[in-house]
Amino acid sequence: MPISADQLAPLRSFGYTEVESSFLYLVATHSGYFTVRQFLDFAHAKSGKRNAHLIEKLFSQGHATAQRYRRRSCVYHLHSRALYDAIGKGELRNRRNHEIRHIKARLLALDYILAHPEDDHFETVEAKWRYLVKAVKAPEEIFGPETDESELIAFPDRFPVSLSRSEAESTPVVVFTFVDSERVGLGPFIKHLRTYRRLFAALSHFQFVYVSTASKEQEEVAELFALLIQGSGLANLKRYFDLKTKWDNKQYGQVSEKELIFLSESRKRYTGEIFGTLYFLWKRNQLPNDLRTEGSCHQNCTFKVMTVCGHDAVFGTETKRWGDGWKIRGSSRTTSPHGSLKREQQAVLKQANA
């Protein structure tokens, strides 16, 4: 994830140090939001003057705002058009305000990127598309504009996609991710895999990383990936769903004695949320094309899980902002000279220096 001196020069001109500039470049490009903990991890520093000085610079120049969700925690948002324009990314939506669900996802995505500094992370949707179509020769027709009902790939979630290089590989490997920030069930993950199957089938090799803050779903998501992408056990699962549908519809005469034994054994085998969800989609005729062992399965791929500590200390279990939506905003550069901060901003700086 090399960042050239030319890319950092505009940020350095604002008075940020090299480490601060590198961190802010990554935040602006891939997230828009960050926490003090993420900056300290990136800078390999302890809480104190380092983070307090960064927040002071951001506020005094009007580059960021701070949102408090719990009494002693803040999320910082790089919102200044001047800062994004300076690094040539004025069109990015990261500088706009977003709902909490989006913020949580962006923070986890940033955690992933900061944990993989050796990878080359694509900075824009256009860069992902260009590499996959031009370099990897993925079919151009599987990509399309972002719409709610479209099954074309448009990268609307903006999950990190990167190139990983290792001595064992002669060419870089494309790494896809799924960032599960909500933990609301396996439906979104299933939909994501279904959408990306045609792209995965076009690649000779790739990696997939499931990023979440909880480990309890990791065995289930690994099994889902093996079923829907690698094709492991799909034939038996398809047979089970077909027999279960006949049995549930009281079509007992269409189930032989041998099939009844298979159905009984499969009921014990296929338990848990993932199979309940898949069977629900099967009955709605939303999975038949996915449950095929021929043509669309991919054996030459690697699945990994990454558990991050998350940001419960920032958000807690609440989805509302502390203080009835009170927001701490950095004042503009023209109305507040360096060092002249409002009382609320001074409180945040004091907290950041704690």
What's the whole-model pTM score?
0.80
> Which pLDDT score is estimated for 154?
85
* Chain segment 50-88, per-residue pLDDT in tens: 999 999 999 999 999 999 887 667 899 999 999 999 999
Q: What are phi and psi of 75, to 5 degrees?
A: -115, 130
Round to whole Å and give the CA distance between 133 and 152: 14
Q: Are strands 161-164 and 173-180 parallel, antiparallel or unpaired?
A: antiparallel
* The 64-70 sheet, strands edge to edge: 33-34, 73-78, 64-70, 327-329
Round to whole Å and give the CA distance between 104 and 167: 34
Of 322 and 303, the structure prediction assigns the larger pLDDT to 303
> Which pLDDT score is estimated for 166?
75
* Chain segment 304-313, per-residue pLDDT in tens: 999 887 777 7
Round to whole Å and give the CA distance between 263 and 243: 7
Question: Token match 């038996």: residue?
Answer: 236
* Chain segment 12-38, per-residue pLDDT in tens: 999 999 999 999 999 999 999 999 999
Paired tokens of 126: 């256009």
- pLDDT-above-70 percentage for the chain: 81
- At 340, is the pLDDT very low, low, confident or very high (cuts 50, 70, 90)? very low
> Which pLDDT score is estimated for 341?
44
With CA atoms as reference, report the closest residue to 261 among 251, 271, 250, 269.
269
Query: Could you tell me how many residues make up the chain?
Result: 354
User: Where do the domains of the chain lie, and which CATH numbers do they carry?
Assistant: 5-99+321-352 (1.10.10), 120-307 (no CATH)
> Which of 122-131, 221-230, 345-354 ranks highest by mean pLDDT?
122-131
Round to whole Å and give the CA distance between 55 and 34: 11
Helix, strand, coil percent content, the chain, rounded in steps of 5: 45, 15, 40
* Chain segment 285-302, per-residue pLDDT in tens: 766 555 554 445 566 789
